[in-house]
Chain A
Amino acid sequence: MGFWRALTFVWCGLCLTACASAPPTPEMIANNDPYEPTNREMLQLNGKIDRYFVVPTVAVYFVLVPDPGRRAVHRFLENLSLPTTFVNDILEGQLKRGGQTAARFAINTTIGFGGFLDPASHMKIPDHGEDFGVTLGVWGVGEGPYLVLPFLGPSNARDAFGLAADVGLDPTNQIPFKQHIWWDAGRYYFTVLDLRGQTFQTVQTIQRSSIDYYTALRGFYRQLRANAVRTVRPDKKLQDLPDF
């Protein structure tokens, strides 16, 4: 059910985007951003939510939870994401990386007290993240039009679908227990706090140094995601650089 709820949310966001957009200009089409006006509005809305709700909440989190505690929460959340990473490693045919992911999860869940500690890193087992959007890219699926999702920020059609798919692929979402919805809510709430706390200065930097924050963010996102796919497919590393 988690996958279908997530897909419904993403689909509603996409429909809202499509319905609200004026016909795209040739420049928007050339930039693969046919919904740019709506995307810009969504970025502004997300910015207001961030400024008036998320950032104050993060500030309270920082005051109430000392740094060692926040790092422990971060490690716990990272550990929770490893089953999804493992599934995507296998789907991409990356057996070695899948083995590393499985080892990290097993070690950190057991002797790492559920992931609050990270003994796997002390054992030099490398860490990485994967998601179904990257898996689709590895399989050759194009990114599709650029999107800015409500609350979730920059994405594209492929990654938005991948986001929903990851909810379904996450083995922890298949564990039946009565309070699952509260577990989900708590997990994603603390994920937002954790991510925003880590990225506060970075986002400020981008905003301060950008001529056009929207375009800067769009460019960063696209290049990062393309690089994530290239990491798995190194044969594509040099394809897209212009000559100058």
Chain B
Amino acid sequence: MRFQPILRRAFLVMAVGVAASFVAGAPAFAASPAEDYVQNNINKGLDILNNKQISTDQRRSQFEGFLLGLTDMKRIADFTLGQYRRTASPADLAAFEGAFQNYATAVYQSYFSKYAGQSMKVTGSQARTPDDFIVVTQLIDPNDHSGQQPLEVDFRVRTDTGKPVVVDFSVAGIWLALNERDQFTSFLGQNNGNIPMLVSHLAELAKQFRNG
């Protein structure tokens, strides 16, 4: 069972993958344009992560700006609430969406620097529906001589709004938004659906990561 070695690189890719997520682009996608879209945005994110000409703080700032400028955190945040989305008040929902954005950017920024020098290559894609694509990439580590297959990272690209949006990505088969939904709904299930409590926890986690 190769559970642990795969997870060793999982959080690296989450930092890089979120950078490539949720970007506006051209409508009416075939699979190949979805691949181009992912590759172009991966490259932008990796350029920021691998830029040694700027300080760590500047790199973090640029990375966060890139994420916030190009992401649709609201869509993912709403998904991760699961069944609690339907009964959430508008105020709770807005607070959660803000907390989720803060949490996601803080957590993945804290790990981006560990894997500088690595790259991603798009290797193909599959269309689940005419507006739902899975773009497959491989994480290339030039220093990895273990003989193991390169880590596969998949991006789920939706075009149902007319613009391509990455709504989730997976590392070695682990879909991030799905895992977050499991966690958040489990937490809410144990706490009587208390969204403000979840918001508070997310804020605390984000603070811990921002403080190192």
Q: Which residues of A contact B11 (CB under 8 A)?
A: 202, 205, 209
Residues of A within 8 A of B190 (CB): 212
Contact A238 B7 (CB under 8 A): no
A75's nearest neighbour on chain B, judged by CB, is B146
Closest Cβ of chain B: how far from A47's Cβ, in Å? Answer: 15
| Interface SS, A side | helix
Q: Given that A121-B145, A127-B147, A244-B79 are known contacts, is A224 also in contact with B174, CB under 8 Å in the complex?
A: yes
Contact A133 B183 (CB under 8 A): no
**A202 touching B147 by the CB < 8 A rule?**
no
Which of A126, A199, A216 contacts B183 (CB under 8 A)? Answer: A216
B111: CB under 8 A from chain A? yes
Q: Is the interface of B mostly helix, strand, loop or mixed?
A: helix
Smallest distance from the beta carbon of B52 to chain A beta carbons, Å? 23
Quick check: A211 and B183 within 8 Å, CB to CB? yes
| Closest residue on chain B to residue A230 by CB atoms | B173
The reply to whether B3 and A224 contact each other, CB–CB distance below 8 Å, is yes
**Does B1 belong to the interface (CB within 8 Å)?**
yes
A228 touches B198 (CB 8 A): no
A44 at interface, CB cutoff 8 A:
no
Residues of A within 8 A of B111 (CB): 205
B130 CB, min distance to chain A CBs, angstroms = 13
Decide: A128 and B149 in contact? CB cutoff 8 A: yes
Residue A221 at the chain B interface, CB threshold 8 Å: yes
Contact A244 B128 (CB under 8 A): no
- Complexed CA–CA distance, A93 and B146 (Å): 26
Does A89 touch B at the CB level, under 8 Å?
A: no
Q: Which of A195, A198, A208, A224 is within 8 Å of B208, CB to CB?
A: A208
Could you mark each residue 1-43 of chain A with 1 if its beta carbon is under 8 Å from any beta carbon of chain B, else 0? 0000000000000000000000000010001000000000000
Give the distance in Å from the alpha carbon of A244 to the alpha carbon of B172 in the complex: 21
- Chain B residues contacting A244 (CB-CB under 8 Å) are 75, 78-79, 167, 177
Q: Shortest Cβ distance from B124 into chain A, in angstroms? A: 11
Contact with B along A191-229 (1 / 0, CB 8 A): 000010011011001101111101110111101101110
A215 contacts B10, C-beta separation under 8 Å:
no
Closest to A71 in B: B146
Contacts of A128 in B (CB 8 A): 2, 148-149
Q: In whole Å, how far is A111's beta carbon from the nearest beta carbon of chain B?
A: 15
When the two chains form their complex, are residues B79 and A211 in contact, meaning their CB atoms are under 8 A apart?
Answer: no
* Beta-carbon contact of B183 and A241 below 8 Å: no
B40 within 8 A of A: no
Could you list 30 examples of A-B contacts with CB < 8 Å? A27-B189, A31-B186, A127-B148, A128-B148, A154-B3, A159-B1, A198-B5, A199-B7, A202-B4, A202-B11, A205-B111, A208-B209, A209-B209, A211-B202, A211-B205, A212-B186, A214-B186, A215-B187, A216-B182, A219-B178, A220-B3, A223-B174, A224-B7, A224-B172, A224-B174, A238-B126, A238-B134, A241-B175, A242-B79, A244-B177
Q: Apart from A125-B147, A127-B147, what are 15 other A-B pairs with CB-CB below 8 Å?
A: A126-B148, A127-B148, A199-B4, A202-B4, A211-B187, A212-B187, A212-B190, A215-B182, A223-B174, A223-B179, A224-B6, A227-B174, A237-B126, A241-B156, A244-B79
Which 8 pairs show the lowest CB-CB distances between chains A and B? A227-B173, A121-B147, A199-B4, A215-B186, A219-B179, A244-B79, A219-B182, A223-B174
